[in-house]
Amino acid sequence: MSTSREHKKYEEFEFEDFVADEFFVQWVKSPDENNLHFWQKWLLSNPHKKEVVAEAAGLVRSIEYKEDFEFSDDAYIEVFENILKADQEEAHIPEKSPIKKSRWYTLLSLRSIAAMLIVGFTYLILFNFPQSPDIVEEIAWITKENGGGKKRVVHLNDGTIIHLNSNSAISYPERFTDSLRFVVLEKGEAFFDVAKEERRSFVVQVNDAKVAVLGTSFNVNNRKGKLAVALVSGKVKVNDNQGNQVVLKPMEMIVMEETGLISKQNFDLIQVTGWKDKYLVFTDDDFNSVVQKIESWYGVKVNATGMNRGNWAYTGLYYDESLENVMEGIAQTSRISYKIQGREVYITK
């Protein structure tokens, strides 16, 4: 599909062409490695189409049945049983002897009990996947929250280590259940170094999306309505509330925009996870982004006057550096002046 001819075909596309295109809809509704790769590449070479693509994707995703008809768990099992029962009856109608018949009935009922157990249990696993922490209500939940300028490392009792960034919060149960390790990133950013366990998945819930892993390290950033999951090692599955699922390989990152756009990309390790090792990283950051990072990292308020924010960008790397040294570094290369007074920073041109 990702031939240059296909690539070219979409250049002429407008809103109505995108929404009526099978491959486009497939990408929006069921992103997989194949279509993600194509569309991500295509958008990179056609940046002016970003807006119309976002509009088209938004509409595609918003269409639903007006009336939802839930197929209940009971119905699921009942219909399944009746189907199996029917071919038992079919097969044994010729059996005329009443003794044999009663024996068949015994077998039959045993079989339907077994079927019910199998279905019932499978059902529990596949469909009643915990939606929220309520499922372990008798276990107390702990929340750790960092304000601006504060980071911390949280050690969970399964051996998992969580680095929690500033302006971030995480909740987890006092102890995990036997079947699942479930934590919630309430806001902000965290780096997870998950202790490997074959039997218990580790699931991070962020808004409505879930990140499921089996022992791995990865970064989750949920700020300004944008969710980014970057995988350093192991394997990670990301499910959003639309039913989309993306599997990440090491050094891949998935970004879910507020507009509903999902893209998979590679990432720079230090840029994404450097914060946990005390690296403050700026990569071609615009003025607002630099201000946000400094405010969050040092827990200060930045006030700027007379800045032409439009064509300003800064790149720099600082290891465990003081606010003064970082401000000095930025000032030297970026034509700005600054003044630090207590917890306030003043920037002028």
Partner 1 sequence: MNNPSNQSETTFISSKHLETIKVFDKKSDYDIWNAFDQGDEMAFNYIYRTYVKDLFQFGSQYSCDSYLVKDSIQNLFIYLRKKRGSLSKINNIKGYLFKSIQREIIKNIKTKASVETLEENLFENHFLIEVSPEMNIIKGEVETELKLKIQRALNQLTTKQRKVILLFYVEELSYKEIADIMNFSEVKTARKIVYRALASLKELIKPTSY
Residue number with CB closer to partner 1 (6 or 78): 78
Would you count residue 64 as binding partner 1 (CB under 8 A)?
yes
Would you count residue 255 as binding partner 1 (CB under 8 A)?
no
Total residues binding partner 1 (CB under 8 A): 48
Would you count residue 54 as binding partner 1 (CB under 8 A)?
yes
Would you count residue 19 as binding partner 1 (CB under 8 A)?
yes
Would you count residue 25 as binding partner 1 (CB under 8 A)?
yes
91/99 Cα distance (integer angstroms): 16
- Return the range that interacts with partner 1 (CB under 8 A); candidates 84-92, 139-147, 264-272, 341-349: 84-92
Q: Taking Cα atoms as reference points, which of 267, 287, 257 lies closest to residue 348?
A: 287
For residue 301, what are the β-bridge partners? 344
Phi, psi of 161 (to 5 degrees): -115, 130
For residue 161, what are the β-bridge partners? 155, 193
Quick one: tokens of 173? Answer: 């149960």
For residue 245, what are the β-bridge partners? 239
Residue number with CB closer to partner 1 (185 or 261): 261
- Applying CB under 8 A, which of residues 6, 34, 41, 83 lies at the interface with partner 1? 83
Per CB under 8 A, contacts with partner 1 among 123-152 are: 125-126
Task: Classify burial at 298, counting beta carbons within 10 Å of its beta carbon; exposed 0-12, middle 13-18, buried 19 or more.
Answer: buried
Max CA distance (Å), the chain: 100
- Applying CB under 8 A, which of residues 3, 12, 67, 93 lies at the interface with partner 1? 67
- Return the range that interacts with partner 1 (CB under 8 A); candidates 3-11, 64-72, 141-149, 156-164: 64-72
Helix or strand holding residue 263 (H, E): strand 262-266
Minimum distance from residue 315 beta carbon to partner 1 (Å): 31
239/260 Cα distance (integer angstroms): 13
CA 3 to chain centre: 29
Residue with tokens 């569309």: 39
Minimum distance from residue 71 beta carbon to partner 1 (Å): 4
115/112 Cα distance (integer angstroms): 5
Residue number with CB closer to partner 1 (60 or 290): 60
Minimum distance from residue 70 beta carbon to partner 1 (Å): 8
Residues that bind partner 1 (CB under 8 A): 14-17, 19-20, 22, 25-26, 29-30, 54-55, 58-69, 71, 75-76, 78-80, 82-83, 86-87, 90, 116-118, 120-122, 125-126, 242, 258-260
